[in-house]
Amino acid sequence: MPVEGQLYSIAKLIQLAEQGASDATASSKNQRSFAVQSEEGSESSNAFRVSSSGGMPAVYLRVRIDKDDGRVLLTRTLETISEPPSQPWLADVHSRLLKPLRLDLDNSGNPIAYLDDELLDESSITRALIDPVREAVGDLPQFESL
């Protein structure tokens, strides 16, 4: 349970993403596995990634908590590798910045999140962290909403 007066922590966001990854793996239409990992070199930091394995394309959603003009944003960058490279450093990575989520507190001090001006519940936050990866690997129809 989040602590009153605190925004969603990276640990809570990872927990939501891990639950979503587990559910996505269990219900995958094309036998993909989904996982959540802390970003390398950011053990105590504010970043993690959601990935998919089990075929091409390789897809990663990099998630980071950033501050911008006094607002706290959860930025999301979708990275796709369509063809397996002969050497990992030769990978042709296509990156696309997705709409950020804005983290805030409601009037009672409870953590909340918005996408554009739409208030998200925890289920919607989880989908915002998992669905872009599922869509990119063809496990869900593609929508531009999240």
Place of tokens 């496990």: 139
CA distance 114 to 110: 13
Q: At what angle do helices 122-136 and 10-27 cross, to 10 degrees?
A: 50
- pLDDT attached to residue 2: 46
The DSSP line for 59-112 is EEEEEEEEEETTEEEEEEEEEEE-S--SSGGG--EEEEEEEEEEEEE-TTS-EE
Residues of the chain with pLDDT under 70: 1-5, 40-44, 85, 88, 142-146
- pLDDT attached to residue 57: 84
- pLDDT attached to residue 142: 67
Contacts of 121 (CB under 8 A, 6+ apart): none
| pTM, two decimal places | 0.84
- pLDDT attached to residue 44: 53
